[in-house]
Structure 1
Amino acid sequence: MRTGVFLFGGVEMPDAGAGPPAPTDRRYDQHEVWRATEQILDVGVLADRLGFDSFWLTEHHFQYEGYEVIPNGLLIGAILAERTERLRIGMAFNIVPQWHPLKLAEDFATLHNISGGRGILGVGRGTVPREAESLGTKIGSFDNPDQVAADELNRKMFDEAMEVITRALDNESFSFHGEVFDFPPPGIPDRGGFVETLSLVPRPLYPYEIWQAITSPPTLEQVPVSGWGGVFWNNHHSFVKMRWERFAEIYADKHGRELERGEKRMLVLCTCVEDTREQAIESVRNGHDEFWKFLGPYGWSKGYMGDDGKPAKPGLIPTLDDSMDRQRTWVVGSPDDVAETIAWYRDELGIENLALFPAMPGDPYRKVETQLHRLAEEVLPQLA
């Protein structure tokens, strides 16, 4: 089982938890933001030394609140590649509609090559309107009054951009002419002729993987058709199983072969390990509540199960008890407790790709490093 580490990558917050301050009342200066960036790199080096398979960052912009301070994980990933030996490096996720697709392809190829083939192309459509609309797209967030129209535009931009990116990465020369993107635009003069195709420089020297977040029924139907890997997070355990199996069915229908055990699918679990379950609950509660205080208004609860057995309505702010016991999305307890729950998922789904989220919003990085040690030294050996 390949096991990675996934970090939001925010600043340390001594006042994390439910209640005040409101997320938008926080403001961190550039020294604190950069200190967090350096600490994130240190955690990546530790993950490599402890034997984790992969390290995942996340792309966000303009977050003066300090929750997620890495705008370009490919750039940070290239730095991390120079400081590590075997760790695979990915983004969970590059927000494709917020990029010029050819710039994203160039930057990923650069990371992939300089790391000796350790780059992972993680792609998603976005969450935050503040970021999306400032960077050239829209997003159908729960708190966006134009969410339906915004979502339609976002999907169109994503689909065309991914076609451009894969053509550019996989072919010596390419062209693409769609509704949103046109490469090369017609009529570009060049040395007595006109440009008919483009060639990406550099292109990947090594095989690469594409993984996409699966957070909606349309995305569940699309990702296996594309042949990419699907990432499942913050879903009620029964929803995970249903969607995990549906992914395999769609893939087999499209590609004419059955997926191997756990192939093309990754589960993300939020974790906290302490000596006892009671100590772990106390340790993670404020981070859990800060997580949902921040992300609940964007509709992240739609993977949870509501009281009627259907997906919860957007805007739900769950309790830690709900996340742990009913939804089973947060794995909290002693090393034995955490290993037992991961083993249950492994046996239930056939997991071969797992990412652990051990750092809650606001956590001190010294605590994050301790969590990585406990996972690597006390939990994962039980799953070997």
Structure 2
Amino acid sequence: MRFTILVQPYMRRRGEDVKNPGADPDRYQDFLQRLKEQMIFADNNGYGGFCMTEHHMQIEGIETTVNPIMLDLFVAQHTKNLMVGQMGMALTAHNPMKLAEDLALLDQMTEGRCFYGFVRGNTPRWLNTFSQHLEISTSQSDKSEVDQKNRRLFYEAFEIIKQLWHNDTINFQDGEFWQMPPKDIPWQFPPTKKWGDESAIDANGNLHEVGLVPKPLKRPDGRAHPEIWTPFSWSMETACFAAKEEIKLASFVAKDEFIDTTIDVYTEEAAKYGRTVQPKDFIGIGGHLTMASTQAKADDHYKGFEELFNGAYNCPPYHVPMGRVWKGTGQETLDTIAKFREEKGIDNFFLWHHVGYFEQEEELEMLETFSEQVIKKL
């Protein structure tokens, strides 16, 4: 089994009323030190992974995950065993060549101790700003033209990255949004003529193919890149795409019947591509961590988390339902996870965990309680 902590960084404390705490550099340094201490603890107490979402411009101090890849490297430098990854990078906000390069560097620098994660992006403030040259907006999940354009860009960027991982060089010219390389770039570099592929330069002396340096490390099973995850809520179109591309799903949805439907859809879709899969191969169950050593503390953590969630997530523009919660002192969560493992064969679990919102000793206690009452008992 693997238990992965999905860290949400906070530069605003519980109950605090302060303007623009995200602009305070000392607060960010405090967050980094808190994160380091907590992830060292997690590494030594049975946790298997660390990851973050991607958000920018959160000047209010809410979920300040400004660069998951660099934060992955930071955590990897201070731990010995934790896998590090993203949940995930917004493919619609990045040049796919640059993102593929950054991810490959992370894999090389951590000596293979990483996983990748991709999303479509749901926050217009930063996504629309970063992607303004592409004239796209966030995922709407309503099958509108805006939503479908976002999805087309996601698919195209993923295809480019996949080709870069699997080939020395590529020529990708049929995209709606990107060409790799762009047309009509004169290229008379002698090393390319001497050591590159003959197809790297066309008959007119223009660049015809480009390649990724470095590549991710090859896996023992021959795969050209680390495992890939995507957080998943309701769209079965996303589930089918994930099954086709061998992407794993992390779901925080609290309805067991929805998990059953997702397993059926993914399994049937994978079979179309000649793959036989089990739930442990492709799905992880997530919950928000509010546990504590006593019921009174656990109840207080849940109350604080509920206030935070309704003020920062179940509100415009997201309107996200809370989903599953790992709460109490241990037994309830232990029973739930054991049931998923025994009845559905699922052995990947995620813990949505805030760093910087509660007091440091409270956040460490949440991690310790889950470790002692769930991980070590399983």
Per the normalisation by structure 2, the TM-score is 0.85
After superposition, where does 1:210-225 map in structure 2 within 5 Å? 210-215=228-233, 216-225=235-244
Which stretch shows the higher mean deviation, 70-79 or 89-98? 70-79
Which stretch shows the higher mean deviation, 358-367 or 167-176? 358-367
* Partners of 1:224 and 1:230 within 8 A in 2: no
Runs of 4+ displaced beyond 6 Å? none
Partner of 2:14: 14
Structure 1 pair 159–261 and aligned structure 2 pair: CA distance change class (3 A): closer
Deviation digits for residues 319-361 of structure 1 (CA, Å, limit 9, x no counterpart): xxxx5xxxxx112112222211221222332212111223388
- Give the 3-state SS of the residue equivalent to 2:285 in structure 1: strand
- Give the 3-state SS of the residue equivalent to 1:89 in structure 2: strand
Deviation digits for residues 196-232 of structure 1 (CA, Å, limit 9, x no counterpart): 1111111112331111122323212211111211121
* Partners of 1:291 and 1:361 within 8 A in 2: no
Partner of 1:305: none
After superposition, where does 1:57-136 map in structure 2 within 5 Å? 57-136=52-131
Structure 1 pair 235–83 and aligned structure 2 pair: CA distance change class (3 A): same
Gaps of 5+ in 2: 190-204, 220-225
- Give the 3-state SS of the residue equivalent to 1:358 in structure 2: strand
What percentage of aligned pairs have identical amino acids? 24
- Looking at structure 2, the residues matched to 296 and 339 of structure 1 have their Cα atoms a distance apart, in angstroms, of 27
Deviation of 1:152 after TM superposition, in Å, equals 1.7
- Looking at structure 1, the residues matched to 356 and 266 of structure 2 have their Cα atoms a distance apart, in angstroms, of 31
- Looking at structure 1, the residues matched to 315 and 354 of structure 2 have their Cα atoms a distance apart, in angstroms, of 21
- Looking at structure 1, the residues matched to 316 and 253 of structure 2 have their Cα atoms a distance apart, in angstroms, of 13
Gaps of 5+ in 1: 301-314, 324-328
Identify the match of residue 163 of structure 2 among 164, 167, 189: 167
* Partners of 1:262 and 1:350 within 8 A in 2: yes
- Give the 3-state SS of the residue equivalent to 1:180 in structure 2: coil
After superposition, where does 1:106-255 map in structure 2 within 5 Å? 106-136=101-131, 137-141=136-140, 148-177=144-173, 178-191=175-188, 193-207=205-219, 208-215=226-233, 216-253=235-272, 255=273
* Partners of 2:243 and 2:266 within 8 A in 1: yes
1:294 aligned to 2:312? yes
Partner of 1:307: none
* Cα RMSD for the two superposed structures: 2.4
1:4 aligned to 2:4? yes
Structure 1 pair 299–74 and aligned structure 2 pair: CA distance change class (3 A): same
Deviation digits for residues 120-178 of structure 1 (CA, Å, limit 9, x no counterpart): 11110111110111111410348xxx993321221111111011111112211112121
Deviation of 1:27 after TM superposition, in Å, equals 4.1
Larger CA Rg, structure 1 vs 2: 2
Deviation of 1:298 after TM superposition, in Å, equals 4.8
Per the normalisation by structure 1, the TM-score is 0.84
Deviation digits for residues 12-42 of structure 1 (CA, Å, limit 9, x no counterpart): 41317xxxx7xx9764423213321332233
* Partners of 1:141 and 1:298 within 8 A in 2: no
Partner of 1:281: 299
- Give the 3-state SS of the residue equivalent to 1:59 in structure 2: coil
- Looking at structure 1, the residues matched to 121 and 343 of structure 2 have their Cα atoms a distance apart, in angstroms, of 30
Partner of 2:223: none
Amino acid at match of 1:225: K
* Partners of 2:54 and 2:65 within 8 A in 1: yes
- Looking at structure 2, the residues matched to 238 and 277 of structure 1 have their Cα atoms a distance apart, in angstroms, of 29
* Partners of 2:278 and 2:345 within 8 A in 1: no
Amino acid at match of 1:259: V
Q: How many equivalent residue pairs? A: 350
- Give the 3-state SS of the residue equivalent to 2:11 in structure 1: coil
- Looking at structure 1, the residues matched to 328 and 264 of structure 2 have their Cα atoms a distance apart, in angstroms, of 28
Identify the match of residue 47 of structure 2 among 52, 69, 73: 52
Partner of 1:269: 287
1:343 aligned to 2:338? yes
